[in-house]
Amino acid sequence: MTPDNATTANCGICAIIDRIKAGNFHDHIAELPGCYVILGDRQYYRGYCVLLSKIHATELYLMTAEDARVLFDEVRLVAEAIAAVVTPWKMNYECLGNSEPHVHWHLLPRYETDELRRGPIWMRAESEQKVSLEENDRLALIASLRTEIAARCSRAIVK
Ligand SMILES: [Zn+2]
């Protein structure tokens, strides 16, 4: 794993990473060897997290196979950690990069109560997805996710 610690100008995800490094991103959950984990802004899907690759690559296939594998192992363990906290009906995984040209994974817990659960999350209006959590709830959710991530990755930095 050879993370490129230099962030790239004009990339929204590199900008978030710069804020995380500066301690200025309040939804930061954990740093893993290959990525940063943040709480997403669509908490209609409670527990929704995004993994931001430490490497500014526009496509998975432009990363080395080893770097992509490290990232995928982290996707898998963070998904398991999220599931331990929110016990979803199903976990959805999306790696798109159409808006921001930097590999990132969306981990989206789906729930039985969602009448659109058999389709992709994007079927639901964005305004309905963008639910903010009450502050104490948000902090408690982040704390629980940190505990479950740390239990699965000894190299996780959770602070
Ligand atoms: Zn970037």
Q: What is the pLDDT along the chain (159 residues), one digit of tens a residue?
A: 445 556 788 899 999 999 999 999 999 999 999 999 999 999 999 999 999 999 999 999 999 999 999 999 999 999 999 999 999 999 999 999 899 999 999 999 999 999 999 999 989 999 999 999 999 999 999 999 999 999 999 999 997
CA angle 17, 20, 23 (to 5 degrees): 155
Q: How far apart are the C-alpha atoms of 115 and 107, rounded to whole Å?
A: 19
Question: For the structural domain made of 12-152, what CATH number should be given?
Answer: 3.30.428.10
**How far is the centre of ligand 1, averaged over its atoms, from the C-alpha of 46 (Å)?**
26
What DSSP line would sit under 13-39, residue for residue?
Answer: HHHHHHHHHTT--TTEEEE-SSEEEEE
User: So what's the pLDDT on residue 2?
Assistant: 45
- Name the token pair of 50: 């995004």
**How far is the centre of ligand 1, averaged over its atoms, from the C-alpha of 88 (Å)?**
30
* pTM of the full structure: 0.94
**How far is the centre of ligand 1, averaged over its atoms, from the C-alpha of 68 (Å)?**
15
Q: Would you kindly state where each structural domain of the chain is located, as residue ranges?
A: 12-152
User: So what's the pLDDT on residue 1?
Assistant: 47
pLDDT digits (tens, 9 = 90+) for 66-79: 999 999 999 999 99
Please, are residues 59 and 68 in contact by the beta-carbon 8 Å criterion?
no
**How far is the centre of ligand 1, averaged over its atoms, from the C-alpha of 58 (Å)?**
8
User: So what's the pLDDT on residue 7?
Assistant: 76
**Ligand 1 is an ion; residues with CB less than 5 A from it:** 8, 11, 13-14, 56, 102
Please, are residues 155 and 33 in contact by the beta-carbon 8 Å criterion?
yes
User: So what's the pLDDT on residue 5?
Assistant: 56
User: So what's the pLDDT on residue 19?
Assistant: 97
pLDDT digits (tens, 9 = 90+) for 2-19: 455 567 888 999 999 999
